[in-house]
């Protein structure tokens, strides 16, 4: 078997499909759009990578569901910890969110991100 790199930005609009990761009641504007492009998934290894876009929304996580590396491509995200500490992420920012992290995930401007999740 020959393995090769997977380009993730050859055409950022190609391959997007509707997504439903965010509950309808968690959207904070009339825009309830959400879409994604899955570039890689290995169920056995528990690894998923792609691009995801979501309209303004706010979700509370008692425990974030996976280990996720994120690069913000556009928009704005505010992560708030239980002690009230808030961190704002914008285009170009890269960060890691460990599985189990309690946080409020608030998208204040339509967000597009690269992600890689390890379950």
pLDDT in tens, 61-81: 999 999 999 999 999 999 999
Alpha-carbon distance of 10 to 4, in angstroms, equals 15
DSSP character at residue 26: G
- Is the pTM higher than 0.85? The answer reads yes
Q: Residue 14 — pLDDT band, cuts 50, 70, 90?
A: confident
Classify 24 as helix, strand or coil: helix
Does 10 have pLDDT greater than 70?
A: no
- The CATH code of domain 25-118 reads 2.60.120.10
What pLDDT does residue 48 have?
95
């Amino acid at each position: 078997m020959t393995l090769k790199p997977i380009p993730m930005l050859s055409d950022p609009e190609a391959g997007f499909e509707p997504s439903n990761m965010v509950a309808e009641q968690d959207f904070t504007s009339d825009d309830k759009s959400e879409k994604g492009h899955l570039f890689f998934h290995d169920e056995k290894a528990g690894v998923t990578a792609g691009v995801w876009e979501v309209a303004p929304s706010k979700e509370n996580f008692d425990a974030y569901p996976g280990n996720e590396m994120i690069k913000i491509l556009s928009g704005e995200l505010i992560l708030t910890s239980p002690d009230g500490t808030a961190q704002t992420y914008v285009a170009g920012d890269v960060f890691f969110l460990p599985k189990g992290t309690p946080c409020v995930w608030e998208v204040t401007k339509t967000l597009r991100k690269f992600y890689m999740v390890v379950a």
